[in-house]
């Protein structure tokens, strides 16, 4: 993971031929107008890039003549953290470190993760949040840990603020709790419900912003999903 991060950084700093993609440029523009949410995306991407600009903009300008590194270095950092999460999840479930290592090697051949290690898209923080939510939910079930349920809920909220499809983790975890006899007992405890409520808190700023803007973001998503003619 460290070697990959260094390689990606060298690629970006040595005459990288990739200008900001359209999505990246849009998210960069978001940081000039920070808000609770946006027309087609949640707010997390804007705040991540905003933090990158605050920390790295001057260094990026000196090194490559633009803020490109300030936009993309957070993607490298998040990809490393995602890889660590994959290793932790694989090693704790498979209990074989070599298979966990292989899981990282194979996973990072997937385009969504390979691209997300260089380009700053909403998928990068979303995959990071999804991975670590699963890490903590596995820990919560295995160790009967309420703090792990809380941490999992926090990562759901981060994921929802990044990409709305994070909501799909609810049926994933719910089906596990229903189908696994060893996990079913947690349906009678508060941990999963606390996690669910914390996760839904990620929707609050998005709901507030949409209520103030005639629900344009939700109508846009409905149009993309084909359930509405308004895109």
HSE-up of residue 197 (Cα within 13 Å, Cβ side): 4
Q: Is the pLDDT of residue 40 over 90?
A: no
**Structure tokens, 7:** 């390689």
Residue-level pLDDT at 226:
67
pLDDT band for 81, please (50, 70, 90 cuts). very high
d(CA 158, CA 164): 10
DSSP 180: -
pLDDT digits (tens, 9 = 90+) for 187-216: 999 999 999 999 999 999 999 999 999 999
């Amino acid at each position: 993971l460290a070697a990959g991060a260094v390689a990606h950084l060298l690629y970006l700093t040595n005459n990288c031929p990739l200008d900001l993609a359209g999505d990246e440029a849009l998210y960069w523009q978001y940081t000039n107008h920070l808000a609770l949410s946006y027309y087609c995306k949640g707010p997390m991407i804007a705040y991540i890039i905003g933090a990158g600009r605050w920390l790295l903009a001057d260094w990026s300008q000196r090194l490559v003549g633009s803020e490109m590194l300030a936009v993309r270095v957070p993607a490298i950092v998040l990809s490393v953290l995602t890889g660590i999460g994959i290793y932790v999840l694989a090693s704790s479930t498979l209990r074989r470190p070599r298979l966990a290592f292989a899981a990282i090697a194979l996973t990072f051949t997937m385009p969504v993760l390979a691209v997300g290690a260089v380009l700053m898209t909403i998928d990068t923080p979303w995959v990071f949040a999804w991975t670590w939510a699963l890490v903590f939910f596995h820990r919560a079930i295995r160790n009967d840990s309420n703090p792990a349920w809380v941490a999992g809920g926090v990562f759901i909220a981060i994921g929802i603020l990044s990409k709305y499809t994070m909501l799909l983790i609810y049926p994933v975890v719910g089906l596990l709790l229903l189908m696994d006899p060893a996990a079913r007992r947690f349906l009678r405890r508060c941990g999963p419900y606390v996690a669910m409520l914390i996760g839904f808190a990620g929707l609050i700023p998005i709901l507030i912003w949409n209520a103030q803007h005639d629900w344009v973001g939700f109508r846009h998503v409905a149009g993309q999903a084909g359930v509405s003619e308004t895109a």
